[in-house]
Amino acid sequence: MGKCGITLFSFLMIVSVWGCGYNDLQGVDEDTKAAWSEVINQYQRRADLIPNLVATVKGYAAHEKDTLEGVVQARAQATGIQVTPETLKDPAAFEKFQQAQAGLTSALGRLLAIAENYPNLKADQNFRDLQSQLEGTENRIAVARKRYIDRVAEYNKMVRYFPTNLTAKFLLHLEEKPNFTVADEKAVAKPPEVKF
Amino acid sequence: MSRVWRAAARLMLCLGMVFVAASAWALDVPPLTGRVVDLAHVLPADVAASLTSDLETHEAKTSNQVAVLILPSLEGEPLEPFSHRVATTWKLGQKGTDNGVLLLIALRERKLRIEVGYGLEGTLTDLRSAHIIRNEIVPRFRDGDLPGGIAAGVHAILGTIEGSYKAEEGPSAHVRHSQEPSTFQYVLVGIFVGVMAGIMLSHGLQYTRALVGSALAFLVAQFASIVLGVVAAGITAFLLWLILQTNRGARGRRGNWGPDFISGPGGFGGSYGGDIGFSGGGGDFGGGGASGEW
């Protein structure tokens, strides 16, 4: 009976852990998708703010053509790449998305740096409001990205750990998902050039 | 033997030092001792008391949870991530509606932030938050009137979010704790199932019947979809089986994963406010709000 009990117990444990892995994997998979939707959502929000911002800056600094066009182009590029939760598995598409958004971030950084040279623009109520909204959105993007990073880390762990990796591989055909990289953060964190 | 102990002690010491270093590096989230947490001691007692009672009445009426934190310094921590960390640790706002707001003020850095919960982002927008900071708080702070600025800011926040939510009728504060089946309940179910399985095993029922019992136990736990329940069931069954099998001796006491699992889940209490019994309702924050400086 003793041996029998142990066998039974191990059987119970293995089956339950394996069985729960199925639901848990589905759960974390959904979580990553939800987190990704939030990231997209916030990036979209930023893109929506830009036309107004560009128009406002144009009113005071129309001759800063290069910077203004740079922002418009970067925005077009960023909004042109659609990454749905389903295509999220593709690391190349993810990379492209990340690069386009990073490009827009640095173009925006240049635009705001230029604004420093125009006291009238800086004092403009409309511009200040847009700037507050932009800051708020950047912060939300940071939060959404952090949540996505956490979710994907959790998901990738489950996809790789034994025994859930078996469930992931043979039953659900789930693969690791790409995550945001620090290399991109470095590019973003590079301060824009300020000309005096 | 003593060498082993010494090595272990050394290891503990190392770990301890790492811990201390880590906690010294990152500014800890201060405990939620009330609706107004004034660690910099800038608010006169009567202002703090009246703010607290305003915030309390507001929550009773609308279920919105608004809290104020005044820090002497951020100690090098960036404002936005820290503010988000405090808000999510305190869990301001109700679960589901996420209607919490944190007003954070860092004196030495002369920075402040209004952190807005998901559920209030529609009314207390980033823009509105920025306007409150710019028009209500910062001018008073620049004149050196910290208490006045904080009070004006809080009242502007309360005025903005006044109509967003209504407090539920009845004693919602008590319902809050039993809204969702807690881990504790799953563990209880697990233990019950485990007792059943253990009795089945130890009484030497036929192999097949015990198997059916375990499968049933597994299904129940699976239905609850909580690993912990299964683990609790397994542990209970195992312990019970051990106890009831005393005549067999302690065969198969294999390793110390039992205590590991037991200590695994940790506390399932949640955060309690302390002093005046104020605690976060489980609200979440998505980074909404605005920052400013004076």
The predicted pLDDT at position A65 comes to 87
pLDDT tens digit sequence for A25-68? 888 888 988 899 889 989 999 999 999 999 999 888 888 888 99
Q: What is the DSSP letter of A193?
A: P
Residue of A nearest to B248 (CA): A2
The predicted pLDDT at position B250 comes to 40
- Residue B234, Cα to own-chain centre: how many angstroms? 29
Q: Mean pLDDT over all residues of chain A? A: 82
A20 touches chain B (CB under 8 A): yes
Q: Quick check: B234 and A9 CB within 8 A?
A: yes
pTM over 0.90: no
The predicted pLDDT at position B270 comes to 31
* Chain B residues touching A139 at Cβ < 8 A: 80, 287-289, 291
The predicted pLDDT at position B128 comes to 92
The CA distance from A3 to A88, in Å, is 48
B135 touches chain A (CB under 8 A): no
Q: Which helix (H) or strand (E) segment is B132 a member of?
A: none
ipTM above 0.90, yes or no: no
Angle A105-A110-A111 (CA atoms, 0-180°, nearest 5)? Answer: 95
- State how far residue B180 is from chain A, nearest Cα, in angstroms: 18
Nearest to B287 among A6, A24, A142 (CB): A142
pLDDT tens digit sequence for A140-168? 999 999 999 999 998 888 888 877 777 77
Nearest to A8 among B127, B129, B201 (CB): B201
Q: Quick check: B222 and A129 CB within 8 A?
A: no
- The structure tokens listed for B166 are 């209504």
Structure confidence at residue A176 as a pLDDT band (50, 70, 90) = confident
pLDDT tens digit sequence for A109-125? 999 998 888 999 988 99
The predicted pLDDT at position B38 comes to 93
The CA distance from A107 to A66, in Å, is 10
Please state the rounded mean pLDDT for residues A160-180.
80
- State how far residue B44 is from chain A, nearest Cα, in angstroms: 31
pLDDT along chain B (294 residues), means of 10: 64 55 66 92 92 93 93 92 93 91 95 93 92 94 94 93 67 43 68 72 61 67 60 75 58 38 32 56 90 92
Burial (Cβ within 10 Å: 0-12, 13-18, ≥19) of residue B27: middle
Percent pLDDT > 90 in chain A is 32
Instruction: Report which of A78, A147, A72 is spatially closest to residue B118, judged by C-alpha positions.
Output: A147
The predicted pLDDT at position B278 comes to 84
B284 touches chain A (CB under 8 A): no
The predicted pLDDT at position A2 comes to 63
Residues 6+ apart with CB under 8 A from B199: B240, B244
Phi-psi region of B208 (alpha: psi -120 to 50; beta: other; left: phi over 0): alpha
Q: Quick check: B80 and A137 CB within 8 A?
A: no
The predicted pLDDT at position A20 comes to 54
Q: Tell me: pLDDT of A11 over 70.
A: no
